[in-house]
Amino acid sequence: MSNKIYSYGKQTIDSSDIEAVVEVLKSDWLTQGPDVAAFEQALCEKFGAKYATVVSNGTAALHLAALAMDWQPGDVVITTPLTFLASANSILYAGATPDFVDIDKKTYTISTALLKEKLAQYNKEGINVKAVVAVDYAGHPCDWQKLRELADEYGFQLVNDNCHAPGAEYNNDYNYAVKYADVVIQSFHPVKHITTGEGGAVLTNNKNIDKIIKTLRTHGMTKDPDLLEKNDGPWYYEMHRLGYNYRITDFQCALGLSQLGKLDGFVKRRREIALFYDEKFGSNENFIIPHVSVNVKHAYHLYPLQIKFENIIIKKSELFGKLKEKNIYGQVHYIPVHLQPYYRKKFGFEKGGFPVAEKFYEREISIPMYPSLTDADLNYIANVFLDLVK
Ligand SMILES: Cc1ncc(COP(=O)(O)O)c(C=O)c1O
């Protein structure tokens, strides 16, 4: 029995991260200072984006992206049912209408074949889909080439909810996210690859979208002389849109900067952990290990292990109880969003609507995946699973 506690994900913070934060705490700027712009610049360089705006969390990033892309009541926006609530909720924040397309059986990302069918159906009804929010689930990139083709053919905006996948590669391209999508969303929650405590970012190559997002982050205010209707003096500002306070602090950005330098090392360790689990579970018929497409390098935010509960005695909820006794706290990613009472009641989605995501939900457990797990930890975790899953 291990006396350590194993959650499915957690932050990796070292003394250099702490020093970076302390330095800002001793400075004149706790918020709206130089570290915000420095973190944005570093994100642009790391991910090949022209523009980045850092905000208070990934959900705020999604919200502002939806507003900046001008989603309106009556617009249809499609996403995957296999995601965190926030990807879909952003559609509702803008007053638009959400719809879902089921996941691909192998990659668990949005199925481009089913998306094509849905787009053709909407087209027949004379409805233009406004946008698609695709999610690089668990760290496996979507089929971005096909998504871009469909976006160009049908004229919808393409959002990459990339919260799970910084450090992933698609067709040997580290900077694929901004290349294919109009807008890219990141989260810096502690379970993610790099953290600022709470935090998020919007990356884009679109100057206009970036400008609007930067304004909306601070109450919709602007001091930009080119945008002002008049100018009473150096203090003068105008509000042009209804914005929010979605700012992130400088000490958080200092942490983000320090963490960003470690991203590739973190992803390397995550891949080693995945290889270890693949070897432990891959040959056991009770498990399905995560698939990795040949043109992809997975970033492994999660290690979504599927268990064929239909073939074994132990039930999923019982397994969770037994894991807890062994100090292993799994999680399930995700309860398909369309099955949430709010979505069922408000929009009429039903069980059976997106069967691949629903089947995946029945089988999936996210097992511990974070860089500080040692080989001994991994052996312990794998052996507990192999022992219980029968
Ligand atoms: C796919 C996805 N999108 C959006 C979010 C929202 O990010 P945050 O928790 O930073 O608001 C998350 C966070 O869990 C996520 O996993």
| CATH code of the domain covering residue 328 | 3.90.1150.10
Query: pLDDT tens-digit profile of 325-374?
Result: 999 999 999 999 999 999 999 999 999 999 999 999 999 999 999 999 99
Helix (H) or strand (E) holding 238: strand 238-239
Nearest C-alpha to atom 7 of ligand 1 is from which residue? 58
Q: How many CB atoms lie within 10 A of CB 52?
A: 25
Percentage of residues in the chain with pLDDT exceeding 70? 100
> What ligand 1 atom has the least distance to the C-alpha of 62?
4
In this structure, the answer to whether residues 271 and 302 fall within a common structural domain is yes
Query: Are 290 and 274 in contact, with CB atoms under 8 Å apart?
Result: yes
Query: Are 134 and 103 in contact, with CB atoms under 8 Å apart?
Result: no
* Domain count across the chain: 2
> What ligand 1 atom has the least distance to the C-alpha of 135?
1
Degrees to nearest 5, angle at CA 117 with 114 and 123: 140
State in Å: Cα 162 to ligand 1 middle.
9
Residue 305 falls inside a structural domain: yes
State in Å: Cα 9 to ligand 1 middle.
14
Query: pLDDT tens-digit profile of 268-323?
Result: 999 999 999 999 999 999 999 999 999 999 999 999 999 999 999 999 999 999 99
> What ligand 1 atom has the least distance to the C-alpha of 86?
4
Q: Which residue of 160, 187, 188, 202 sits with most ligand 1 atoms within 8 Å of its CB, as the best mutation to test the pocket?
A: 187
Tell me the mean pLDDT in the region 97-122.
98
Does the structure show a pLDDT above 90 at 259? yes
State in Å: Cα 125 to ligand 1 middle.
33
CA distances from 163 to 102, 168, 210, 301 (A): 19, 11, 18, 9
In this structure, the answer to whether residues 208 and 101 fall within a common structural domain is yes
Nearest C-alpha to atom 16 of ligand 1 is from which residue? 84
In this structure, the answer to whether residues 248 and 270 fall within a common structural domain is no
State in Å: Cα 73 to ligand 1 middle.
24
Among 243, 260, 277, which residue terminates a domain? 260
Residue 148 falls inside a structural domain: yes
Among 231, 260, 289, which residue terminates a domain? 260
Tell me the mean pLDDT in the region 62-81.
98
> What ligand 1 atom has the least distance to the C-alpha of 137?
1
**Burial environment of residue 10 by CB neighbours within 10 A (0 to 12, 13 to 18, 19 or more):** middle
In this structure, the answer to whether residues 131 and 232 fall within a common structural domain is yes
Does the structure show a pLDDT above 90 at 226? no
Sheet holding 303-307, edge to edge: 287-288, 303-307, 364-367
In this structure, the answer to whether residues 78 and 199 fall within a common structural domain is yes
Residue 1 falls inside a structural domain: no
In this structure, the answer to whether residues 281 and 319 fall within a common structural domain is yes
Residue 2 falls inside a structural domain: no
Q: Which residue of 7, 57, 59 sits with most ligand 1 atoms within 8 Å of its CB, as the best mutation to test the pocket?
A: 59
State in Å: Cα 59 to ligand 1 middle.
6
Give the residue carrying structure tokens 């990613």.
333
d(CA 26, CA 326): 42
| CATH number of the domain that residue 228 is part of | 3.40.640.10
In this structure, the answer to whether residues 317 and 210 fall within a common structural domain is no
Q: Which residue of 163, 184, 301 sits with most ligand 1 atoms within 8 Å of its CB, as the best mutation to test the pocket?
A: 163
State in Å: Cα 188 to ligand 1 middle.
8
Does the structure show a pLDDT above 90 at 64? yes
Does the structure show a pLDDT above 80 at 2? no
Residue 281 falls inside a structural domain: yes
Q: How much is the pLDDT for 147?
A: 98
Give 355-358's long-range contacts (Cβ < 8 A, gap of 24+). 355/102, 356/102, 356/103, 356/104, 356/105, 356/111, 357/80, 357/81, 357/82, 357/102, 357/103
Residue 65 falls inside a structural domain: yes
Q: How confident is the model at residue 3 (pLDDT cuts 50, 70, 90)?
A: confident
Give the residue carrying structure tokens 């950005």.
253
Contacts of 185 (CB under 8 A, 6+ apart): 58, 61, 62, 65, 159, 160, 161, 162, 163, 200, 201, 202
In this structure, the answer to whether residues 229 and 348 fall within a common structural domain is no
Tell me the mean pLDDT in the region 233-238.
96
In this structure, the answer to whether residues 87 and 160 fall within a common structural domain is yes
Query: pLDDT tens-digit profile of 172-211?
Result: 999 999 999 999 999 999 999 999 999 999 999 999 999 9
State in Å: Cα 49 to ligand 1 middle.
20
Q: How much is the pLDDT for 53?
A: 98
> What ligand 1 atom has the least distance to the C-alpha of 199?
10
Residue 310 falls inside a structural domain: yes
Could you list the residue range(s) of the whole structural domain that residue 214 is in? 7-260
State in Å: Cα 58 to ligand 1 middle.
5
Among 260, 285, 306, which residue terminates a domain? 260
Residue 382 falls inside a structural domain: yes
State in Å: Cα 218 to ligand 1 middle.
21
Q: How confident is the model at residue 96 (pLDDT cuts 50, 70, 90)?
A: very high
State in Å: Cα 381 to ligand 1 middle.
26
In this structure, the answer to whether residues 157 and 22 fall within a common structural domain is yes
Q: How much is the pLDDT for 234?
A: 93
Give the residue carrying structure tokens 């040949």.
294
Ligand 1 site, CB within 6 A: 57-59, 83-84, 86-87, 135, 161, 163-164, 187, 189, 200
In this structure, the answer to whether residues 176 and 284 fall within a common structural domain is no
Does the structure show a pLDDT above 80 at 1? no
Nearest C-alpha to atom 8 of ligand 1 is from which residue? 58
In this structure, the answer to whether residues 88 and 209 fall within a common structural domain is yes
